[in-house]
Chain A
Amino acid sequence: MQKRRLASGGIIDRDEKLYFGFNGRQYEGYAGDSLASALLANDLSLIARSIRYHRPRGILSAGLEEPNALVNCADQHGVFVPNLKATEVKLTQGLEARSQNCWPDVTLDIGALLQRVSALLSAGFYYKTFMWPQQWWHRVYEKLIRRAAGQGRVSTGTDLKRYDRRNAHCDLLIIGSGPAGLGAALAAVAPATNAEISIMLLEQDHVAGGSTLWERCEIDAMPARQWREQALASLAQKPNIRIMCGTLAFGQYDHGQVRAIQRVAASVDSISWQIRAKRLLLATGATENPLVFPTNDRPGIMLASAVRHYIHRYAVVPGRRALLAITDADEAGLTHEALESAGIEIVATLQPGEHIVATYGLQHLSAVGVINKSGQGRRIRCDLLCVSAGWNPNAQLLAQLGAQLDFEPSTGSLLPPAQAGITLTSGACRGLSAMQDCMLDGRLQAQQAIAQIKQQTVADIELPEIVRCASVTSSKPVLSDVFHDGRGQAFVDLQNDVTRADLEQAVSEGYDHVELAKRYTTTGMGTDQGKTSWVNAIREMTRITGQESSMLGHTTFRPPCSPVSIGALVGADVNRHMAPLRQTPFHRDFADSACVFQTSGDWLYSRYFPLADESMEQAIRREVLAVRSTVGCVDMSTLGKIDIKGGDALEFLTRIYCNNLDGLEQGRLRYALMLREDGILFDDGTVSQLGPQHYLVTTTTANSAAVWRSMNKLAQLRWPSLDVQLTSVSDHWASLAIAGPKARALLAALNPDFDVEREHFPYASVRQGSLGGIDCRVFSVSFSGELSYEINVPAGFASALYQRVLEGGVEFGITPYGLEALDVLRIEKGHLSVGSEIDGRTTPADLGLGKLVSTRKAFIGSSLLQRPALQQAGRLQLVGLTATDGQSQIPPAAHICEQTWQPGQSLRSQGKMSAAVSSPTLGYSIALALLENGQQRWGEKLWAVSPLTRQSVEVVVGASCFIDPDGSRVRG
């Protein structure tokens, strides 16, 4: 039984009943209803409680501007989404909605007691108190305030909805399908010469038509609703226009990009659209401003346009006895007709000079107190108060890009220009009100937009003149002013409970700039984005400050123009789908070898290869010892590999790497360092010469993209005259290093077609050939400090290579090892790692590599490297540390200090450890550290201090290379 539903009329499907729940009780509505219209049809007008004072609130509007009727709604999977406006929720079968910000329920809300102390909760009260005792703000007051603030409750349930993301391009994007939008669309598709123009039309409502759905006016001498049907039928015939309803265009971004969310009922919940258009035509209509008078917030007080909306579109009777307080005579007439058609008694219409000074009613409006010019008051019994203080264009999408809107005092509107950049405005969105005018304006602006689009290809086209907004026909307020004093709070911002008194107080306290007043009072900062409050706030500020409204300006409009679901924006980019996780070509084989992987950044690494029952520590130890004693193999595929060719390839490399590359010959390679422009070490790797004008460089894994970018930038922008071609081959080669004293024997066992003996394939060389028929490049380089060959094969042969290495290595006890063991090996050898020693603050000299820096050439970073502070004493330099007692474990991540640390003590750090490990090879704990003047301090005893673990271990400073300092092992 829908008590407040008219027997006939409306654009609802009375054959399809929809059952829905509100605060635990079941109700029925019809297909075509919004949640708000269904609630009203069931005579439910108390929907929510306000944020600060917990005042009873109903439904003010019929659209996205709704400040009051916020509800929690369950999605189809039962997960509740907070803060939805009842006016924006389409009624669906089984919908569950709940009031929010009230306890125990919306009718008996305990929080309403706060109204008793509302005088204390004035603008910014929290800045003036809650300061004593000092620690109580965080411990006590903030907790209470946080609990009272907020609105709905976020559900921690998993969002099971499905989302999609799409892109589109079009010539003309029309936003809004009211008279102006449809008028524009008809004009854009009409001439046959426009057949090539692609047009999209977005409508946020789930039905196209805008105000034609609920306003009883005429367009082209026929009822608006009939005109709408004809227009849509005609547009449906045209192949070059796409109309999307339920699609909210929420933001405009640079370069003609519009973002929109389309709500669809089919297989996905919504689609996030990115649309680029040559011209954007805003036909987004206008929002009606409420009147500001004492206690202007009771359920039953409704925007006049919303009253017409509910009557004509939904056949709902929002009240029985109505009082009209509408500034514009035409609008008052339309409202009058609507009320009469619904059989609602009109008890009074406010006349010029009359003011509302009070309203009455506990949970719904029961009477209104009015005074006339001569100050005589009367109380009028009514349950519906239709208010309007004029209209404000919905120009957010234009203003988001920085366009200033002009405040028009006579109508109280922020008017956008007819065009700014690629955006044109039309209809109510630029201040027009009569439907016929809006339709004609849409037509003209569409013609203008199309002409501009065509002009991009046809030079001599004549642009129609942009018609100046002939008249802002929404006439002047009839009531002498929008605001009136009286007893009780007069709300300017209904959602954030900001009153006139708050604004007055803010200005009188010196927060007299709109931006300051906004922040101090929180006006316009609610989920309604201030749609019904901003204009009234500006009017009020104008009155209080006595400034011209044009001087006040407005605050910056920020997207989205109405809140949009984060789930829909993120779409399918969830969990592992968010960013690709890279696996090396050996991944599947490693998995078969019981490898434990670890995610780090872009990559899934092979961490270690445990045998049955082995712990990570045991496995690492075994792997390290195998490499030091026989042979192991490790995946090096993640290193960046850049192929460089061209007559100037060597010159290019010479300018980039700080090393001297002069003597490099074909078949040889060099360890090389690359600096940043500021002289700081950027990356290390190898440079190999593969052919006469052909080089291959490797980069660290971490910097592989950065080095690639940097080299390309240099080649293309700084030295475009050099003959050099760069190709990233990182993914083309699988790279497996075999390392250990038996590495050469293992390499020989792989059937190379080249000589692997030491004198023919010495350390720091590269060979290209085949290993038992697999094309390969083999580099004799070592990160572990053992004799080592990095075998590169085309990525597709990774598995074959690995299997052959395992088979060929059986007799040597081949041991696959992971990056943990590799890290231990490199620390024992004192080799550098990006992020640890190469930390973005060290120079080559700091790391003991000063002798590699050429003094005979200019290279990237060479001049800034000469800066005095990069040379002088006191810099952090790489050293090795061992415990003085030869047995203590050096704590990881320790700092190097003169003495031990006691809790509560401040102690100067002279250096920091970059790596620490218990060396399986040496049998004791070793560490690398960056220590002030470290290279001059070998033999000195200091303390490795870790307050986190309360450890202080005495250490002795020494060389950073703990294993094979003269390098005989790497040469095998």
Chain B
Amino acid sequence: MLSLKKNRAANAASQPRLVRRILIGSTVLFLGLFLLLPLIAVFAYALEQGGTAYWMAIKQPEALAALRLTLMTVAVAAPLNALFGIAAAWAIAKFEFRGKNILITLIDLPFTVSPVIAGAMFVLLFGARSAMGGWLLDRGIQIIFAPPGIFIATIFVTFPLVARELIPLMQALGNDDEEAAVSLGAGPLQTFWRITLPNIRWGLLYGVVLCVARAMGEFGAVSVVSGHIRGVTNTMPLQIEILYNEYDYVAAFSVASLLALVSLVTLGGKKIFEWKSRQHIIDQSAYSAQGGPVESTAS
């Protein structure tokens, strides 16, 4: 038995090395080919004709207008969804009620709706031929083919991102801190600001960062509701499509590289936030039975 085990151990030392190399090799190859190369390509094609061409492409008034609209979309969608995420996580994590699972599933719903369908939905709802759209248009309020439509479509596709980060986090943290604060006489707002917010800030920030990244990059849903008016209702991804269709590849990839940079910042941010919030949970709930950090990946 013992000799057999040794034998195996020896075997395990030699054979796994080969297995290991093959596995690592295929991982590097697969990720390199599927993830790294497309990322490098964006920057390579953007800088193909040098830095000046790159700069000129980004400085175009239409590109700048697209950037402005994209930033505005983010400024609308991210805070609203953050507020919603906090409220939903508070209600779901801190209280027991019937139908909780259904509520969580409903919050997840926008993830499974194809962006195109999401956009189409808002056209049906706010289009000039619908009752509501017609009524609003008669009063001079334009929703689709105008920035508000883009905001709503973006809010829809980024809807669950903050809530999904916060719900498991707040569930893991438990209620003890808040309950202690309340029983010591703290008011609701005070409890939230002093106790809850510091506990969830990294998770919240990460959720917001995800939301920002997705809001900047949404294409399908926004494309349906945009109307593609140059310099007015084109977001950056739509501008990329237009430039690409105008054979202006360098410009298309230049604008794309800005978005790629944002996504790289998001990835870096994710690492930091994960690390920070993990530390935080470990600090906070070293004594808690729930222990381990919450992997929040499904998005």
- State yes or no: do A and B come from one complex: no
B residues apposed to A, CB below 8 Å: none
